Structure 1
């Protein structure tokens, strides 16, 4: 597993104690011999002609910061932010800027959108709420550390998860803190966070310890807590089992992946593990009505049977290209890569069917699909809306 760690080590954190962002990860591993070379792109004989509906720029994007900026599509708008505080709302059909606001914030996670608010997490330990209609600031609240996860909101409660392992609930109208749920963070973790998911009356979140927990949305009281995978090995590096991407909740089942560990299906009601399979992943998951799709730590794309965790197919042709988590559009799966390409694959058998480049900078967050349109965001600030034939 360690030979593939170089991608993940683009950013690491030492729990709440400090950051290794300035350290070259390959130097840190010192004798890293077998870094996987990116697969070369080959011409696709009968590729689907993907088309750019519109493209624009969102300030400086994420730049070289290891932060979690993901476009949010809601109510005919695309909300996006950059790491230097620029927040914009675009018309989802035309790409026209509806409003733009320079907040002056060091945005590290977001935006999350709902109930008339745009939520932003910052590197300076703040959760900030803007008006979704105008971009004007509504409130801001202090938390314990950097927010590297996308905040979320439902039923009058705004939820944020901090990199030191704390899950917060705030009153969405006033920004007043309602509750906090705290878990111990391991010494060594990936520099990233799973974003909390609200499902009914539960907030479900994955933690750097490899545990998945559900708390009550209104009170923060623990409902259940389960180990998805247990740390193994002698060194802190070998024992890293972060849940670094968002849980996926489907029909009462929570699907989750861990780094250097397992993929699992967990009962939303009881926290009982229904099945596990060995699979290391930190990029994310997608699904259609029959299959789960997972980008693993080796940049292989898998189709998984949600009933039992068995593999339906695996595509290795993007190995080493640092692919994003997958999204589903029609009968296709789409992922981004480190050279700014979007790759379209058949959901039936994983064969490559199309490709388009949105820019020169890497994509590190999964594409977003809404109403049959793919919205992709590059780390250099490129934002594009892509359609299929």
Structure 2
């Protein structure tokens, strides 16, 4: 197979379980968020527009960018398409049911999901094209493309539907685990042949888009400990893919990069994250459970820098933007860190509510969605 042809993440306390580390921040002095320090910005980032799509409630809603358009959804059933240059609403609809996951789009079809397994697919004008049901609650964004709408359930089942007819094409089941996190474990297309996905229990697989069989399966890490809580070891966030290298991270486990064609591990490091990672040609970046940000070489896993300047601020999934790492925090700040050394280069305040989803780049505009359902268009100035 050649994959070279060629995206919970949680609110820190939205886990199936009790108070895990990230949820005990208000009772544990070690978890006190560090205050923000002043610095002289070297990157000028301006807010150029603001729009609204609906609050996220206790779920994670990630925007998705296709060309110069941004698609977003909210818990109350709202789904919208916006012009990324101006923030102008192109269309917005309200579905009959509440949503728990969204949104996936290829620019023609847009898909969202619900707690009862509902899958809604809208056409390019926002009209409901079809509706189907997956075998479990959906809290991760669907994938749309390659003639398919692919959704995953909280227990790790992945279902592919024909994008036009809603016919179920295949169902992939990974091994069940006794306890797992309620995190948004995304999926990533590997060209037109496979979808990459991580699972509860630390598994990682490349799944054939035509048949639903695995090209390969490999562990990112193995469960450790005695109790079921100690043995939680779920892949968090979507796997990354750049060239022939794919990387993934687990909670209470490891961060690793793998050969995308074979699943062979290139390197692995002890790590724990509930948010996920970002990757480019040379660097993979992620925040650990304490929101300490770490950067590693994609080639060999050597750590290039770490920063505790945002410790315990419940950082979002990161995104890499040129020479900057961009992450939101629990107070609605968007932080821009230098990819070279982790120093601050810019900071923008949004609406004060948490940012847990990765910002997305649409054209020259960075779009951020907050828990209060606001969309912010941010533009670095040259």
Residue 163 (1) aligns with residue 154 (2): yes
Matched, 1:268 2:255: no
Offset at residue 156 of structure 1 (A): 0.9
Aligned partners of 1:366, 1:360: CA distance in 2, in Å? 16
Matching residue of 1:16: none
The correspondence for 1:220, drawn from 180, 195, 212, is 212
SS at structure 2 position matched to 1:129: strand
Post-superposition Cα deviations, 1:241-276, rounded to whole Å, max 9, x if no partner, equal 110210001111210001111011112111111211
Describe the shift of the 1:140–1:383 C-alpha distance in structure 2 as closer, same or farther (beyond 3 A): same
In the aligned structure 1, how far is the partner of 2:12 from the partner of 2:347? 27
* Distance of 2:61 and 2:130 partners within structure 1: 20
* Inter-partner Cα distance in structure 2 for 1:325 and 1:193: 11
1:217: how far off? 0.2
Distance 1:99 1:289, change over 3 A: same
Equivalent position of 2:33 in the other structure:
38
For residues 49-64 of structure 1, what are the structure 2 equivalents within 5 Å?
49-59=44-54, 61-63=55-57
1:4-43 per-residue CA deviation (whole Å, 9 max, x = no partner) reads xxx9761222xxxxxx5xx6668x98x9645410010121
2:116 to 117, 124, 134: 124
Once residues 130 and 149 of structure 2 are traced to their aligned partners in structure 1, the CA distance between those partners, rounded to angstroms, is 12
304 and 237 in structure 1: CA distance in 2 versus 1, 3 angstrom threshold: same
**Cα separation, partners in 2 of 1:231 and 1:297, compared to 1, 3 Å:** same
Distance 1:33 1:185 in 2: 33
Residue 79 of structure 1 corresponds to 71
Deviation by residue 1:162-217 (Cα, 9 ceiling, x = unmatched): 10221111111111101101123322211123112121211111001100011110
Matching residue of 2:289: 297
* Residue ranges of structure 2 left out of the alignment (5+ in a row): 1-9
Question: Which residue of 1 is the match for residue 129 of structure 2?
Answer: 138
165 and 362 in structure 1: CA distance in 2 versus 1, 3 angstrom threshold: same
Is the 8 Å Cα contact of residues 361 and 379 (structure 1) preserved in structure 2? Answer: yes
* Residue ranges of structure 1 left out of the alignment (5+ in a row): 1-6, 14-19
**In structure 2, C-alpha distance between the alignment counterparts of 1:115 and 1:374, rounded to whole Å:** 18
Paired residue for 2:4?
none
Which of the pair has the greater relative contact order for Cα pairs under 8 Å at 6+ separation? 2
The answer on whether the counterparts of 1:86 and 1:104 sit within 8 Å (CA) in structure 2 is no
User: Structure 1 residues 221, 292: CA separation in 2 closer, same or farther (over 3 Å shift)?
Assistant: same
Alignment correspondent of 1:371: 363
Work out the CA distance in 1 between the residues paired with 2:174 and 2:132: 20
Residue 348 to residue 372, structure 1, CA distance change in 2 (3 Å)? farther
Distance (whole Å) between structure 1 residues aligned to residue 321 and residue 175 of structure 2: 38
Match for residue 13 of structure 2?
A: 10
**Cα pair 2:324 2:337 within 8 Å, conserved:** yes
Contact kept? 1:106, 1:124, Cα under 8 Å: no
1:189, 1:303 → 2: CA distance? 27
Q: 1:210 aligns with which of 188, 202, 219?
A: 202
Instruction: Tell whether the 8 Å contact from 2:84 to 2:367 is kept in structure 1 after alignment.
Output: no
Q: Distance in 2 between matches of 1:375 and 1:9?
A: 21
1:46–1:112 Cα change, 3 Å:
closer
- TM (norm. structure 2) is 0.92
Aligned partners of 2:68 and 2:362 also within 8 Å: no
Q: What is the count of residue pairs matched by the alignment?
A: 369
CA shift in 2, pair 1:9/1:188, >3 Å: farther
| Residue 6 (structure 2) aligns with | none
Asked if the contact 2:84–2:365 (Cα under 8 Å) also holds between the matched residues in 1, the reply is no
Indicate conservation of the 8 Å contact 2:52/2:375, yes or no.
yes
